[in-house]
């Protein structure tokens, strides 16, 4: 990475992510990369509890990042669990209250923006009220999407199609394939159980209105043309907006305290175990920090891992096991070839280890980028609707193997888990997946390519003139 340098044209960018660490951390990584360039000063905004849980800012970029805490209004705080300031802390039945608390920060954010006068504000998908607020303050705003551009193309009706009955999706089967405004061949779509889980009964009405977030001045994606050029081009055409990919922000660009991680005794133990495994033989299993996995799914995942015969390293968050248990005797039966870890792990270091051959994942946007950065085949088991789309596009690009589910109820079996792992790891038929994943890894991990995305982004922000 190029060394940090002071610039007379230093930008001031405010960032206000949604209150989920799967969103906060990508915003924070982008903030650190921009700060490292020395051309951008960041005001990073969240609630006190979330700010306190952020990783330590490396000392050399501390002067370029200001952390600002905006506390919830009392009436909103009272409706949430104690210290409930992120989706990780709030049960699903309280999600609406968390959104209301986030929206309740509008006046505090307005006062902050007035006093600090940033050149730009980057906001998240929940912040539909931020574009009009920014416009009232004459501040350009950018929608920073941590998801691939294909999500925007699939879920958001373009302005040109608003009010057009032929484009309206009113039935479950309307979501089984790409929307009518996608002009190129694609099999992207949802399954019956995925649509029904989100929308309920057999018929529903998709709101026929313009999304407020799409009234921003700029779309920014944590993505790259090497991965989804057709979708990045399409989202700009559909919504008549400039689109800037900032790249995947790979570990080669991320600003972190490597010495501190290397000295962590947990990593020493994990590395010792990984060093004893054969090259490309280990399945790394992790489903993020917020996925609530049903008991029957945990059981089939575990027994599928056991049936596959591969060595594995499975990270299970404590909250994922709060209502579930591993199958009786599973850990004893697999103790000679598998590890179940119920604590934080240095995921990037594990994925980088040469013994890891595949990444068994829920297909969250960050997990995809991290796995492909190291050229690992992705074995996918999506749980949320956006993850399902990601799994389909990975299949299309031959870098991911999706575990088959029953299309009506979403169930899957231990046998399907084992067969999918075999296909990804060793079967001759799966060699194309392994080859394509390695090719994608070379592009994702190329620091020169990824540096150019960041530099182009900074240049655009510097040269932008607010349209009245």
Look at the domain 260-444 and name its fold: Rossmann fold (3.40.50)
pLDDT of residue 53: 95
Q: Which helix (H) or strand (E) holds 378?
A: strand 377-380
* Burial category of 395 from C-beta neighbours within 10 Å (exposed 0-12, middle 13-18, buried 19 and up): middle
pLDDT of residue 202: 41
Q: Which helix (H) or strand (E) holds 340?
A: strand 338-341
Is residue 235 within 8 A of residue 152, CB to CB? The reply is yes
- What CA–CA distances, in Å, run from 328 to 64, 186, 302, 307? 52, 43, 10, 15
Query: How distant is the alpha carbon of residue 246 from its chain centre?
Result: 14
Is residue 466 within 8 A of residue 138, CB to CB? The reply is yes
- The model carries a pTM of 0.91
Question: What is the DSSP-derived secondary structure letter of residue 343?
Answer: S
Same fold, 11-156+211-250+447-463 and 260-444: yes
pLDDT of residue 259: 55
Residue 383 CA to residue 373 CA, distance in Å, equals 22
Q: Which of 425, 295, 410, 404 is nearest to 359 (CA)?
A: 425
The dotted CATH code for 11-156+211-250+447-463 is: 3.40.50.2000
Q: Does residue 380 sit in helix, strand or coil? A: strand
- What CA–CA distances, in Å, run from 466 to 119, 171, 387? 10, 41, 35
pLDDT of residue 44: 98
- What CA–CA distances, in Å, run from 140 to 27, 31, 84? 18, 17, 31
pLDDT of residue 359: 98
Tokens (6 digits) for 73? 């209004």
For the chain, give every domain's residue range.
11-156+211-250+447-463, 260-444
Residue 177 CA to residue 183 CA, distance in Å, equals 13
One digit per residue, the tens of pLDDT, for the chain of length 468 reads: 444 444 456 899 999 999 999 999 999 999 999 999 999 999 999 999 999 999 999 999 999 999 999 999 999 999 999 999 999 899 888 999 999 999 999 999 999 999 999 999 999 999 999 999 999 999 999 999 999 999 999 988 887 777 676 667 878 888 999 998 999 999 899 999 999 877 764 434 444 445 777 889 999 999 999 999 999 999 999 999 999 999 999 876 676 655 555 667 889 999 999 999 999 999 999 998 778 889 999 999 999 999 999 999 999 976 666 556 899 999 999 999 999 998 889 999 999 999 999 999 999 999 999 999 999 999 999 999 899 999 999 999 999 999 999 999 999 999 999 999 999 999 999 999 999 999 999 999 999 999 999 999 999 999 997 554
Active site residue: 23, 239, 362, 390, which one?
Answer: 23
Active site residue: 36, 76, 89, 124, which one?
Answer: 124
User: Is 124 tagged catalytic?
Assistant: yes
């Amino acid at each position: 990475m190029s060394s940090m340098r002071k610039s007379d044209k230093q930008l001031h960018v405010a960032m206000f992510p949604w209150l989920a660490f799967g969103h906060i951390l990508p915003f924070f990584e982008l903030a650190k990369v921009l700060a490292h360039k020395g051309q951008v000063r960041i005001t990073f905004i969240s609630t006190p509890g979330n700010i306190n849980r952020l990783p330590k800012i490396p000392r050399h970029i501390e002067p370029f990042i200001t952390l600002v805490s905006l506390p919830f209004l009392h009436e909103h705080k009272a409706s949430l669990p104690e210290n409930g300031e992120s989706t990780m802390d709030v049960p699903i039945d309280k999600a609406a209250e968390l959104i209301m608390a986030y929206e309740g920060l509008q006046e505090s954010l307005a006062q902050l923006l007035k006093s600090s006068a940033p050149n730009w504000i980057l906001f998240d998908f929940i912040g539909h009220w931020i574009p009009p607020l920014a416009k009232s303050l004459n501040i350009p705003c950018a929608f920073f999407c941590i998801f691939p551009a294909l999500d925007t193309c699939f879920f958001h009706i373009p302005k040109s199609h608003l009010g057009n009955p032929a484009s309206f999706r009113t039935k479950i089967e309307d979501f089984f394939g790409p929307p009518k405004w996608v002009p190129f061949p694609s099999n992207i779509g949802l399954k019956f159980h995925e649509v029904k889980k989100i929308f309920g009964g057999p018929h529903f009405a998709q709101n026929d209105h313009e999304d407020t977030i799409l009234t921003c001045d700029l779309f920014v994606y944590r993505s790259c043309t090497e991965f989804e050029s057709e979708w990045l081009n399409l989202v700009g055409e559909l919504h008549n907006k400039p689109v800037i990919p900032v790249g995947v922000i790979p570990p080669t660009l991320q600003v972190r305290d490597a010495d501190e991680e290397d000295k962590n005794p947990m990593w020493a133990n994990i590395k010792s175990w990984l060093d004893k495994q054969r090259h490309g033989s280990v399945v790394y299993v992790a489903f993020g920090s917020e996925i609530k996995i049903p008991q029957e799914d945990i059981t089939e995942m575990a027994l599928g891992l056991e049936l596959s015969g591969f060595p594995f390293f499975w990270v299970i968050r404590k909250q994922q096991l709060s209502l579930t248990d591993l199958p009786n005797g599973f850990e004893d039966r697999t103790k000679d070839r598998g590890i179940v870890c119920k604590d934080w792990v240095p995921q990037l270091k594990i994925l980088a280890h040469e013994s890891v051959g595949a990444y068994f994942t829920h297909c969250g946007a960050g997990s995809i980028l991290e796995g492909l950065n190291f050229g690992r085949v992705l074995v996918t088991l999506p749980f949320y609707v956006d993850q399902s789309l990601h799994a389909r596009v990975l299949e299309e690009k031959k870098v991911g193997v999706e575990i088959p589910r029953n299309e009506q109820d979403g169930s899957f079996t231990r046998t399907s888990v084992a067969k999918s792992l075999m296909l990804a790891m060793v079967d001759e038929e799966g060699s194309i997946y392994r080859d394509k994943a390695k090719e994608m890894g070379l592009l994702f991990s190329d620091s020169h390519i990824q540096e150019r995305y960041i530099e182009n982004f900074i240049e655009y922000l510097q040269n932008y003139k607010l349209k009245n």
